Amino acid sequence: MTRYIVRRIVLMVPVAFLVTVIAFLLLRLAPGDPVLAYSGEVRDPEILNEMRHSLGLDQPLPVQYVVWLGQTLQGNFGRSIRTHQQVGEAIVERLPATLELTGVALLFSVTTGLIVGTFSALYRNSALDLLATGVTIAGVSVPNFFLGLMLILLFSLVLRVFPPGGYAPAIDDPLENLRRIVLPALTLSAATLAINMRQVRSSLLDVFNQDYIRTARAKGLSEGAIIVGHALKNGLIPVVTVVGLQVGALIEGAIVTEQIFFWPGVGKLVVDSIGGRDYPVVQAVVLLSALSYMISTLLVDIVYGWLDPRISFTRGR
Amino acid sequence: MTVSASGLERTEAAAPVDASVRRAGFFATLRRHPRLALGGGLVVVLVLVAIFAPLLTPFDPVVGDVSDSLQAPGAVHWLGTDDLGRDVMARVLFGARLSLSVAAISVSIGVGVGVSIGLIAGYSGGAVDLLLMRLIDALLAFPGLLLAISITAALGPQIQNAMIAIGVISIPVYARLTRGQVLSLRELDYVTAARALGVSPIRIALMHILPNLANTLIVQATLTTAFAILQEAVLSFLGLGAQPPSPSWGQDINYNQRYITNLMWWGSVGPGVAIFLAVFAFNFLGDALRDWLDPQFRRRA
């Protein structure tokens, strides 16, 4: 197991290297002279050249990459072109709001997916199952920005139950914080909820056909004990993988969801930065989310092996 | 992303084509597979709408009558009008053109580049394979939408660049799918025989391996089309895809969302439902095609 983890981490290094190259090149692809973006109104060629030199932009591209990588590894992502704030600082400021939103959305989609998926599998082809299947298909096909707008229309403007957007820190006003998170979390969880429901249902159906479940029934165990103690225990293993891989989907969803609900998180920061051609911020967020996605994938694989002892790590794959 | 990713896992196991699939007549097949008929029917309607959009509405999608602005859906304007008096229905119908052409081009980029990488990597093996696959891993490490957003932002917010970005993020699926199939197919006897006969590697890849991949690729391309329509809508919604005044579903939702506060919902609902139907149609068709074309999947059912 330890050997496997070490091997996986070693294999991650070249991929992480390529990820940094791509993130670096993305900034260089951007049209326009970066010096002009930083200099504001100044157009004196001499001053511009001096700035270019001090920013290291007169160096060849590979040198620039190495310098950039060195700074990035120390957590220095440069300054925002728009606000001149340290990029790392700007991201850290917005991170709690995003983590809260994605956390609540994930919690909601996992618990609801588990409950509805289980009942769907138990009462196959019932009205509930058909309804759940319908919701599943709708959930993966509806764009979440449209879903968000429709939720605002219904719950904020017509029924006036929840506010249409904005954020209230939990420390200042926990109740208002909860009230404001309902709609964005619901929006963000729709796509993953659909997938979780489908995954729970299909893996439970697989498990129900296996011998050990029949044995448990023959032993006279109650249906509840069979589901909780036997079926879910094994049936949930594939679900762990699916949920683990949803980190990427949640990051993507947060970009749009935060935009619609004026949620002051990292996703809104990215969209605002793109509008303002603030490439250092975009680059940092892209790089950090790719790295966190890679790490979460690794964690999923480790947890998967720990849950399912049948998986052998010693034979390479 | 997740939709096509789950599609990938299942289609990966596809075995060489089962000839009996092809024997049944066209309509008999549709009758036996109602889901195929429904999904396919929706897609055909969508394509027809895109082609014949000018014949389906008397209104111009770009130039409106300002005296007619912000009309609720009614007898004249079935889906209402926006603040410039443009007919929402006309914009939705013409929007299908943009949406489908973006999807077609970006899927072509994904298939073209992805399959080539997969064929080269799977067939050459060794260092080439290792290098190409690490590159694909690196592309997969980025959340797709975020990568698409930054590519589009870097190249400039234009619909052509959105197509490239969506194409790039769909490359990894095809590369992995193709490579996996090549690895298993190239050990089969008929490929070994071809190699022994001195057939060139390029010819083996194109004439002997690619045809066996066709079914898997068709299923994946259908699912990726749904994904591409969704991504284009998001990019246009964020102002990175289609630019005004050209009719685009995502961009129109963004443009009209400010009137939702006044309960003038129709400007956003029309294009939103259109996106949903288009994505649903391709997802549904993709799933049905998989059941029909993938012999292993069929046997299990």
**B111 or A176, greater pLDDT:** B111
DSSP assignment of A165-225 equals S----TTT-HHHHHHHHHHHHHHHHHHHHHHHHHHHHHHHHHHHTSHHHHHHHHTT--HHH
User: Does the pLDDT of residue B298 top 90, yes or no?
Assistant: no
Contact A256 B3 (CB under 8 A): no
DSSP assignment of B223-268 equals HHHHHHHHHHHHHHHTTSSS-TTS--HHHHHHHHGGGGGGT--HHH
Count how many residues are written for chain A: 317
pLDDT of residue A313: 54
Q: How far is B152 from chain A (nearest CA, A)?
A: 9
3 state SS of A86: strand
CB pairs under 8 A between A and B: 147
Read off the pLDDT of each residue in B73-87 and give the average, rounded to a whole number. Answer: 90
User: Cβ contacts (< 8 Å) between A245 and chain B: which residues?
Assistant: 2, 5
Candidate from A151-165, A220-234, B67-81 with smallest mean pLDDT: A220-234
Range B125-134 contact pairs with CB under 8 angstroms and sequence separation of 24 or more: B129/B179, B132/B175, B133/B175, B133/B179, B134/A14, B134/A15, B134/A18
pLDDT tens for each residue of A15-74: 999 999 998 888 777 766 667 766 667 777 888 888 777 777 778 888 888 988 998 889
CA A130 to CA A134: how far, in whole Å? 6
Distance, CA of A4 to chain centre: 26
B87 beta partners = B81
Q: How far is B237 from chain A (nearest CA, A)?
A: 8
CA atoms within 13 A on the CB side of B33: 24
Searching chain B, which residue's CA lies closest to the CA of residue A286?
Answer: B146
Searching chain B, which residue's CA lies closest to the CA of residue A140?
Answer: B3
3 state SS of A39: helix
pLDDT of residue B274: 96
CA B45 to CA B233: how far, in whole Å? 20
Distance, CA of B145 to chain centre: 14
Searching chain A, which residue's CA lies closest to the CA of residue B279?
Answer: A141
Q: In this structure, are residues B173 and B115 in contact, taking their beta carbons and an 8 Å threshold?
A: no
Highest mean pLDDT: which range of A80-94, A232-246, B50-64, B108-122: B108-122
Count how many residues are written for chain B: 301
User: Does the pLDDT of residue B6 top 70, yes or no?
Assistant: no
pLDDT of residue B296: 57
Structure tokens at A92: 């850290």
A257 has a chain B CB within 8 A of its CB:
no
| CA-angle at A44, arms to A41 and A50, nearest 5° | 105
Q: Which of A157, A164, A282 sits opposite B150 (nearest CB)?
A: A282
CA A163 to CA A140: how far, in whole Å? 25
Which 8-state DSSP code applies to residue A58? T
A205 has a chain B CB within 8 A of its CB:
no
Contact B257 A143 (CB under 8 A): no
Full set of structural domains in chain A with CATH = 87-307 (1.10.3720.10)
Q: What is the pTM of this model?
A: 0.87
Read off the pLDDT of each residue in A159-181 and give the average, rounded to a whole number. Answer: 87
Q: In this structure, are residues A72 and A86 in contact, taking their beta carbons and an 8 Å threshold?
A: no
**B117 or A12, greater pLDDT:** B117
User: Cβ contacts (< 8 Å) between B275 and chain A: which residues?
Assistant: 142-143, 146
Searching chain B, which residue's CA lies closest to the CA of residue A287?
Answer: B142
Q: Which of A145, A192, A195 sits opposite B234 (nearest CB)?
A: A145
Which 8-state DSSP code applies to residue A227? I
Q: Tell me the helices (H) and strands (E) count for chain B, helix number first.
A: 16, 0
Q: How far is A298 from chain B (nearest CA, A)?
A: 11
A22 has a chain B CB within 8 A of its CB:
yes
User: Cβ contacts (< 8 Å) between A293 and chain B: which residues?
Assistant: 141-143
Contact A15 B138 (CB under 8 A): yes
Residue of B1, B2, B8, B147 to mutate when probing chain A, most A C-beta within 10 A: B2
ipTM higher than the 0.90 cut: no
Q: How far is CA A35 from CA A29, A52, A233, B32, B99, in A?
A: 14, 6, 58, 64, 37
Residue A79 phi, psi (nearest 5): -110, 150
User: Does the pLDDT of residue A305 top 80, yes or no?
Assistant: no
Contact B276 A15 (CB under 8 A): no
User: Does the pLDDT of residue A150 top 90, yes or no?
Assistant: yes
Q: In this structure, are residues B28 and B277 in contact, taking their beta carbons and an 8 Å threshold?
A: no
Distance, CA of A304 to chain centre: 19
pLDDT of residue A12: 87
Candidate from A310-314, B27-31, B138-142, B177-181 with smallest mean pLDDT: A310-314
pLDDT of residue A28: 74
- Provide the chain B residues 43-62 that lie in CB contact (below 8 A) with chain A: none
Q: Which of A22, A141, A271 sits opposite B279 (nearest CB)?
A: A141
pLDDT of residue A255: 92
User: Cβ contacts (< 8 Å) between B150 and chain A: which residues?
Assistant: 26, 274, 282-283, 286
Highest mean pLDDT: which range of A4-13, A77-86, A248-257, B218-227: B218-227
CA A167 to CA A180: how far, in whole Å? 6
Read off the pLDDT of each residue in B276-290 and give the average, rounded to a whole number. Answer: 91
- Provide the chain B residues 181-220 that lie in CB contact (below 8 A) with chain A: none
Q: What is the mean pLDDT of chain B?
A: 86
Q: What is the mean pLDDT of chain A?
A: 85
For A9, residues 6+ apart whose C-beta sits below 8 A from its C-beta are A298
